[in-house]
Amino acid sequence: MSIDCILFDLDGTLLDTSYDFAYALNQTCRDFNSPPLRYQDLRKIVSQGGQAMTQLAFPTLSGEELEARKQHFLNIYFENIDHHAHVFSGLESGLQRLAEQQIPWGIVTNKPTWLTEKLLQSITFPSEPHSVICGDTLQVNKPNPEPLLLAAKQCDVDAKNCLYIGDHRRDIEAGNNAGMQTAGAMFGYLTDDDYDNPWPTELFFETPYEISQYFQQIYPTYSNLR
């Protein structure tokens, strides 16, 4: 099948946001007199969301107390969201190829809108995404296929002709559920379990540069696709 549209997960696939998350969470630890976390430990679970990151920092908390810490953490993250966030090194040329060939692309993330919009304001892409679907855009989120199907509709492309790239099992499941082609970003925020239990896809990228190389192949310079 042809690939007429590229959809990305955000954190750990399109953008490296781990350093700003690490700063915000460790600042939260300091604010509540808890020991800081190692960056290597935090990085593995960034794609699992704010709840998982807060639980890692405060393993004995639950309920309203944990929720309060999470909000404290996310408020610090919001204020520092663009200090180190950047497009993964090696992916820039791939995004440039999408722009040159006028290939529609988009973002489907479980990150809430208030954080996503602030983050994307600080990032300049070679071409603007045709669709940005956040975790609260609909009443459901990944692995439900509806966010991906909405992104395909906004990009004016059939779902079966979209490639969704993500760094979490739920990304692959969501893409499969939507009838899309899928690929694993194995350079992202993966746990040991992700390596022990293969994802249900046949396409994997070990580095961001491999994504760029793949785009060079499927969208050659003199392509007449668009």
Tokens representing residue 6 in the block: 């590229």
Same domain, 95 and 110: yes
Average pLDDT of the segment spanning 111-117: 98
Q: Among the three residues 79, 107, 132, which one is the final residue of a domain in this structure?
A: 79
Q: Is the pLDDT of residue 223 over 50?
A: no
Q: Give the pLDDT band of residue 193 (cuts 50, 70, 90).
A: confident
Last residue of a domain, one of 32, 50, 79: 79
Report yes or no: 176 and 199 within 8 Å, Cβ to Cβ: no
Instruction: Kindly state whether residues 141 and 198 are assigned to the same domain.
Output: yes
Considering the domain boundaries, does residue 168 fall inside one? yes
Q: What is the pTM of this model?
A: 0.95
Q: pLDDT, tens digit, for every residue of 126-138?
A: 999 999 999 999 9
Assess contact for 90 and 209: CB atoms under 8 A: yes
Structure tokens at 23: 């700063």
Query: Which stretches within the chain are classed as H helix?
Result: 18-31, 39-43, 50-57, 63-79, 92-100, 113-120, 146-154, 169-177, 192-196, 208-218
pLDDT band for position 222 (cuts 50, 70, 90): low
Do 149 and 202 fall into the same domain?
yes
| Active-site amino acid positions | 9
**Assigned domain for 224 exists:** no
What is the count of structural domains for the chain? 2
Domain hosting 93: range is 5-16+86-218
pLDDT at res. 224: 45
- Asked if the structure places residue 226 within a domain, the reply is no
In a domain, 127, yes or no: yes
Tell whether 159 and 173 lie within a shared domain.
yes
Which of 64, 79, 94 finishes a domain? 79
